[in-house]
Amino acid sequence: MQKPNSLRKRLIEAFPDYDRNPDKLLVFADAGRVVATGTPARSFELRYTLNLILTDFTDDPNAAMLAVVDWVATNQPELLANPDQRKDAIQFEADIISNDTVDVSIKLPVTESVLARQVDGNWTTADLPEPPPVETGWELVLGKPRSG
């Protein structure tokens, strides 16, 4: 499982306090499943809920959400691109500790593809990267509204 550590790294980059206090950033893989086809190919997919808990968080909670959305855009892009998935994909709960401190739990469904193959009679596995984004030919241009 590569994605829990990848998301942890992204949050430490955004909030260096978690590098100094790693026990305040908890990462869990919940409700995991292995999906395999039962064919001679033994490759499989891991499906689980990535549960991230930021404790004693004193920064803007929106900044944490932005870091997660940014990570999802690269590591689980269908959660943003698919209208049916994005409405429920990133969920959170917050415990307001004080006026400037909050504990936040963020949950998102993730998948990881694992290639299994035999090399010299022994099975080996390799984590597969996310497929590259599909080029649509569209370009998004933001600017000031035109008058008149």
pLDDT of residue 38: 79
Q: Is residue 141 pLDDT above 70, yes or no?
A: no
Mean pLDDT of 11-16: 93
Angle of helix 3-14 relative to helix 61-75, nearest 10 degrees, comes to: 140
User: Tens digit of pLDDT for each residue in 80-130?
Assistant: 998 888 899 999 999 999 999 999 999 999 999 998 888 898 988 888 887
> How many Cα atoms sit within 13 Å of 33 on the Cβ side?
8
**pTM, to two decimals:** 0.81
Sorted by where each starts, the structural domains of the chain and their CATH numbers stand as 3-127 (3.30.2000)
pLDDT at 143 over 70: no
Residue 3 half-sphere exposure toward CB, CA atoms < 13 A: 30
148: CB partners within 8 A, 6+ apart: none
**How much is the pLDDT for 79?**
93
Per-residue model confidence as pLDDT tens digits over 36-79 = 987 788 899 999 999 999 999 999 999 999 999 999 999 999 99
